[in-house]
Amino acid sequence: MGATKSTAQQTYGTAEVAKLIAVSPQRVRRMARLGYCRPARNGRVWQFSFQDLVLLRTATGLLRAKVSARRVRSALRSLSRQMPEDRPLSALRIYADGHGITVRDGRRAWQPDTGQAVFVFDSELPAAVAKAMRLQPARGYLQRVDPEPPDGSAAAGWFNYALSLEGLNSEESAKAYRRAIELDPNFGDAYINLGRIEHASGNGGEAEQLYRRALEFSPNDPVARYNLALALEDRGESAAATDLYREAVKLAPDFADAHFNLGRLLDQLGQKSEALKHFLAYRRLSKG
C-alpha cells in the first residue's frame, strides 16, 4: 500500500493515511500543516507515524463533535507533550464532554489543554462521536422513552428508562439498569450498558465482570466482546484484547471500530500486513 519503514517504526504516506481515516489527502495535508500532528518529512513527502494516525483520527472525531479547531489543536499539542514516550496515544480515550476535551488513561482523567484533573463525568458523547472515538458502544434494541420512572415491574421498562437517562444522569441510569437486572437476571443488554457506565466512571474491574456476565447470557454478542476487550486493554492485557477483537469482527464483519482497534493492536505487535487489512476495513465501513 505504499507504506515505508524506518528503523524505529512503520510510517504511512499521505494517501494511505487519508484512506485509513476516511478523509481526503488534501485534508490530511492541511491538518498536518495546521499542527494537529507533527509528521516527519523526506524531501517533499510527509511520513506519518502511527501516533500521527491516531491524532488525526481523534482530531477528525472531535471536529465532527463541533469542538473548535483551535481547541482541538491546543489539546492535542498539549497531550503530545504530556505523554511519556513509552505510553502510546492509542491507549487513551480522548473525547468531548460538556466542558471541552477530556482524556482518560485507565482511572486517571484530565483536560490536556489546562492539565486539570477530572474526577466525575455526567455527560455522554453523542452517538456519532462515540463511533468516531475509542469508546464502548451502548446496546439498546428497545425504543428510547422520556426519562420517567416506569409504573410496572417489567425489566424492559426499567431498561428503557435507564437508556433514556444516559447523557442526563449516569448514576440514576446505572441504578435503573441494576433494577432491570434484578427483575430479569438474564438481561444481557442491561449488563452491557451498565458495564459501559461503570467503565466510563473508572471502575474497570466492575465493568469487566458485567461484560463477562453479558457473554454468559449472549455468548455470540460482538458488542460485549468489544467492550470487554477495552476493559482488558486498560489492564495491559493486549493479547487477550486482540483475541476478543478478532472474535468481534468475525461475529460482526461490519463492526468498524472493532476493526480499527484490532488493527491498532496488531500494528503494535508488529503484524503490519494484517493490521493494514483491518484499517482498510475500518475505512471502508466508516465511509458508509
Please list the pLDDT of the chain residue by residue as tens digits (288 residues). 232 222 345 678 888 888 777 788 888 888 888 888 888 888 778 888 877 887 888 888 778 777 788 888 888 777 777 665 555 555 566 766 555 677 766 556 677 766 666 543 333 333 333 333 333 444 444 343 445 566 666 888 888 888 777 667 778 888 989 998 998 898 888 898 898 888 877 788 899 999 999 999 888 888 889 989 988 888 888 899 999 999 999 998 888 888 888 988 888 888 888 888 998 888 787 664
Q: Which grid coordinates belong to 284?
A: 471502508
DSSP secondary structure of 146-166: -S---SS--HHHHHHHHHHHT
Q: Which of 219, 210, 216, 175 is nearest to 191 (CA)?
A: 210
Beta bridge partners of 4: 11
Q: What is the C-alpha to C-alpha distance for residues 267 and 261, in angstroms, rounded to an integer?
A: 10
DSSP secondary structure of 163-199: HHHTTT-HHHHHHHHHHHHHH-TT-HHHHHHHHHHHH
Q: Which of 205, 180, 199 is nearest to 190 (CA)?
A: 180
Q: What is the C-alpha to C-alpha distance for residues 105 and 162, in angstroms, rounded to an integer?
A: 26
**Cα distance between the two ends of the chain:** 22
pLDDT value at residue 153: 67
pLDDT value at residue 8: 40
pLDDT value at residue 140: 46
Q: What is the C-alpha to C-alpha distance for residues 138 and 24, in angstroms, rounded to an integer?
A: 30
Q: Which grid coordinates belong to 194?
A: 451498565
If you search the block for the grid coordinates 508488529, which residue do you land on? 270
Q: Are 15 and 2 in contact (CB under 8 A)?
A: yes
Domains of the chain: 4-132 (1.10.1660.10), 155-287 (1.25.40.10)
Half-sphere exposure of 163 (CA within 13 A, CB side): 21
pLDDT value at residue 215: 93
Task: Look at the chain and count its residues.
Answer: 288
Specify the DSSP element, H or E, that contains 5: strand 4-5
pLDDT value at residue 167: 64
Beta bridge partners of 95: 102
Half-sphere exposure of 46 (CA within 13 A, CB side): 23
pLDDT value at residue 248: 92
Beta bridge partners of 111: 116
Q: Are 4 and 11 in contact (CB under 8 A)?
A: yes
